[in-house]
């Protein structure tokens, strides 16, 4: 609070002027603010900018693991919950959010997350946010931040959401969008898809669970590349309490709080990697699809950065087959080469446009085409992407998705198998693409993928499969398997 001056400008007797105190710099909060600004201003990706800021802070500011974990939680949590926090901040100020300086809004969002999404005591969250505001915004705007933070601290998250979300009965999608911090169009798209795949479990409770799962931090999952390491080896290389077995994939190990992939020798040696179980299931299902005749040439037509290719290459090696991993972006092809390095059997990494194939038609026995997509199935991992994506992006991907699937079909021999995968449950990117292609061709048989994901429940009516974060604990991967008739 500033001390009011007397009319003459002299301070009232007996009250010494408060000495100006330099604001205290808090490195973790400063770093979180810098990361948020980069995401907002330069469209940076949090999962890329944050590790580089943390590396610098470790080197120059002596950041420890605890500081890094705190800064990461601040950035990821704030970005994920931004929709809910914006609605709450809007209720605490008397002008539209669009009129608030984005720097101020980022400080307020970080503060709202500390107040409403962490266990930091309210007084500490308010004072740390005001200190941050003094450093990055100056004393004048810090007073505004102080006032808003005090209003936010008046109630907890549930009470705020109850107050600011429109009633469910009035507008169900808007209600869920505010409650679970998703754009409304994403709520609508996920709900539509859930309704098709899980008609019995697609009511308010189920869709709320799905949206809430998008806001959970996903556990880090490792893949033991077959023939190169085993799940048991991975578990043995960490303290028992740091790991849990995979739920569905025989190659998976889940890291629980505290487990670090870098501590695992097999990961450092590329014999294992970090990979969501959904992706492991997709690669394993393609490899397990029944096939008559030759089974020696496999293609991953959209391989970058190489997670599924590495599992496929390891499985191919065990069977004496060769994997060609193809990717259109040279820098991503380089990542594929790095991921596949040391694979025991033969493989090739090439840079090629899947729409203009570098191979003769009918060359391959198994083909995976894991197409570029909206990524709505991996919102847990990329906290800013839900705010960046637009509904029109989905339509924009469609011609490429269809083209890549048709090309993959051309690449397969008669009798060969094609797996069409997306990391999105949006119907326009999944079943609609496959149905469109099936309508145009009579040389394809739609294989039931469900038995190829043994033990995995709630996969729908088939023949394709859709995984869900709230049901399977995986990204929302989609897989359709097609066999080219002989």
Which residues are annotated as catalytic? 423
Residues in 373-402 at the binding interface with ligand SAM, rule: CB under 6 A: none
Q: Say whether the peptide bond before residue 305 is cis (omega within 30 degrees of 0).
A: yes
> Residue 91 and residue 226: Cα distance in Å, rounded?
54
One DSSP character per residue, 159-189 reads HHHHHHSPPTTT-HHHHHHHHHT--HHHHHH
Q: Annotation-wise, does 353 bind a ligand?
A: yes
Residues in 279-298 at the binding interface with ligand SAM, rule: CB under 6 A: 279
Provide the minimum distance between the beta carbon of 478 and ligand SAM in the complex, in angstroms, as a whole number: 11
Between 180 and 308, name the residue whose CB sits nearer to ligand SAM.
Answer: 308
> Residue 33 and residue 74: Cα distance in Å, rounded?
9
* Sign of the torsion formed by the C-alpha atoms of 37, 39, 43 and 46: positive
Binding status of residue 357 toward ligand SAM by CB under 6 A: no
For 446, phi then psi, to 5°, come to -85, 115
Between 308 and 366, name the residue whose CB sits nearer to ligand SAM.
Answer: 308
Binding status of residue 307 toward ligand SAM by CB under 6 A: yes
Provide the minimum distance between the beta carbon of 370 and ligand SAM in the complex, in angstroms, as a whole number: 4
Binding status of residue 332 toward ligand SAM by CB under 6 A: yes
Provide the minimum distance between the beta carbon of 267 and ligand SAM in the complex, in angstroms, as a whole number: 16
Q: Annotation-wise, does 307 bind a ligand?
A: yes
Binding status of residue 273 toward ligand SAM by CB under 6 A: no
Neighbours of 435 (CB within 10 A): 14
Binding status of residue 329 toward ligand SAM by CB under 6 A: yes
**Among 105, 125, 130, 128, which residue's Cα sits nearest to residue 115?**
125
Binding status of residue 355 toward ligand SAM by CB under 6 A: yes
Bridge partners (DSSP) of residue 204 are none
Structure tokens that stand for 182 in this block: 């998703």
> Residue 381 and residue 424: Cα distance in Å, rounded?
13
Binding status of residue 261 toward ligand SAM by CB under 6 A: no
Between 171 and 393, name the residue whose CB sits nearer to ligand SAM.
Answer: 393
Between 11 and 331, name the residue whose CB sits nearer to ligand SAM.
Answer: 331
Contacts with ligand SAM by CB under 6 A: the residue count is: 18
CB 163 within 8 A of CB 89: no
Q: Rule CB under 6 A: choose which of 128, 137, 234, 302 binds ligand SAM.
A: 302
Q: Which residues contact 358 (CB under 8 A, 6 or more apart)?
A: 326, 350, 352
User: Which stretch, 101-109, 146-154, 222-230, 299-307, contacts ligand SAM (CB under 6 A)?
Assistant: 299-307
User: Which stretch, 113-121, 149-157, 220-228, 304-312, contacts ligand SAM (CB under 6 A)?
Assistant: 304-312
Provide the minimum distance between the beta carbon of 59 and ligand SAM in the complex, in angstroms, as a whole number: 30
Q: Give the single-character DSSP code of 16.
A: P
Q: Annotation-wise, does 308 bind a ligand?
A: yes
> Residue 331 and residue 361: Cα distance in Å, rounded?
26
Between 259 and 419, name the residue whose CB sits nearer to ligand SAM.
Answer: 419
Provide the minimum distance between the beta carbon of 279 and ligand SAM in the complex, in angstroms, as a whole number: 5
User: Which stretch, 1-9, 86-94, 211-219, 324-332, contacts ligand SAM (CB under 6 A)?
Assistant: 324-332
Provide the minimum distance between the beta carbon of 348 and ligand SAM in the complex, in angstroms, as a whole number: 15
Provide the minimum distance between the beta carbon of 261 and ligand SAM in the complex, in angstroms, as a whole number: 16
CB 90 within 8 A of CB 96: yes
SS3 of 353-397: CCCCCCCCCCCEEEEEEECCCCCHHHCCCCCCHHHHCCHHHHHHH
Binding status of residue 278 toward ligand SAM by CB under 6 A: no
CB 316 within 8 A of CB 323: yes
Structure tokens that stand for 446 in this block: 């739609």
Q: Which residues contact 219 (CB under 8 A, 6 or more apart)?
A: 254, 255, 256, 473
Between 70 and 347, name the residue whose CB sits nearer to ligand SAM.
Answer: 347
Q: Annotation-wise, does 403 bind a ligand?
A: no
Q: How far is CA 316 from CA 230, 344, 368, in A?
A: 16, 10, 13
Q: Rule CB under 6 A: choose which of 117, 261, 354, 383 binds ligand SAM.
A: 354
Neighbours of 24 (CB within 10 A): 11
Between 202 and 299, name the residue whose CB sits nearer to ligand SAM.
Answer: 299
Q: Annotation-wise, does 304 bind a ligand?
A: yes
Q: Rule CB under 6 A: choose which of 370, 384, 429, 475 binds ligand SAM.
A: 370
> Residue 248 and residue 254: Cα distance in Å, rounded?
11
Provide the minimum distance between the beta carbon of 169 and ligand SAM in the complex, in angstroms, as a whole number: 39
Between 77 and 273, name the residue whose CB sits nearer to ligand SAM.
Answer: 273
Binding site, annotated residues: 302-308, 327, 353, 370
Binding site, annotated residues for S-adenosyl-L-methionine: 302-308, 327, 353, 370
| Residue numbers at the binding site for ligand SAM (CB under 6 A) | 279, 302-308, 327-329, 332, 353-355, 370, 372, 423
């Amino acid at each position: 609070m500033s001390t009011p001056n007397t009319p003459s400008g002299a301070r009232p007797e007996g009250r010494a002027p408060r000495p100006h105190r330099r604001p205290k710099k808090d490195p973790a909060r400063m770093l979180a603010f810098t990361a948020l600004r980069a995401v907002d201003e330069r469209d940076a990706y949090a999962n890329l900018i944050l590790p580089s800021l943390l590396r610098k802070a470790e080197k120059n500011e002596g950041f420890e693991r605890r500081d890094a974990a705190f800064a990461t939680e601040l950035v990821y949590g704030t970005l994920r919950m931004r929709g809910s926090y914006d609605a709450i901040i809007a209720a605490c100020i008397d002008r539209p959010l669009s009129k608030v300086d984005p720097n101020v809004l980022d400080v307020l969002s970080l503060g709202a997350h500390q107040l409403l999404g962490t266990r930091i005591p309210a007084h500490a969250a308010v004072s740390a946010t005001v200190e941050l505001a003094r450093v990055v915004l100056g004393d004048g705007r810090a007073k505004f931040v102080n006032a808003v933070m005090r209003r936010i601290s008046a109630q907890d998250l549930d009470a705020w959401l109850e107050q600011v979300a429109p009633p469910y009965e009035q507008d169900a999608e808007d209600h869920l969008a505010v409650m679970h911090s998703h754009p409304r169009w994403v709520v609508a798209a996920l709900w539509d898809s859930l309704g098709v795949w899980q008609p019995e479990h697609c009511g308010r409770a189920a869709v709320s669970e799905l949206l809430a799962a998008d806001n959970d931090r996903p556990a880090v999952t490792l893949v033991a590349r077959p023939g190169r390491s085993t799940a048991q080896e991975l578990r043995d290389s960490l303290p028992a309490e740091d790991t849990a077995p995979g739920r569905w994939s025989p190659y998976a190990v889940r890291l629980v709080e505290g487990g670090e992939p870098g501590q695992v020798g097999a990961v450092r040696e590329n014999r294992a990697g970090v990979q969501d179980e959904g992706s492991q299931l997709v690669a394993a299902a393609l490899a397990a699809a029944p096939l008559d005749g030759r089974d020696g040439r496999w293609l991953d037509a959209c391989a970058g950065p190489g997670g599924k290719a590495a599992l496929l290459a390891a499985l191919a090696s065990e069977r004496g087959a060769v994997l060609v991993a193809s990717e259109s972006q040279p820098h991503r092809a380089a990542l594929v080469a790095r991921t596949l390095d040391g694979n025991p059997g033969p493989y090739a990494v090439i840079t090629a446009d899947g729409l203009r194939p570098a191979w003769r038609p009918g060359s391959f026995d198994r083909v995976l085409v894991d197409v570029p997509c909206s990524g709505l199935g991996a919102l847990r991992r990329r906290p800013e992407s839900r705010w960046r994506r637009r509904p029109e992006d989905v339509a924009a991907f469609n011609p490429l998705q269809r083209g890549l699937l048709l090309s993959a079909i051309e690449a397969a021999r008669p009798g060969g198998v094609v797996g069409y995968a997306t990391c999105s449950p949006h119907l326009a990117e999944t079943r609609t693409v496959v149905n469109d292609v099936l309508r145009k061709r009579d040389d394809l048989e739609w294989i039931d993928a469900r038995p190829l994901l043994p033990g995995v429940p709630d996969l729908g009516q088939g023949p394709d499969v859709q995984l869900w974060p709230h049901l399977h604990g995986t990204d929302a991967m989609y897989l359709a398997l097609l066999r080219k008739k002989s």
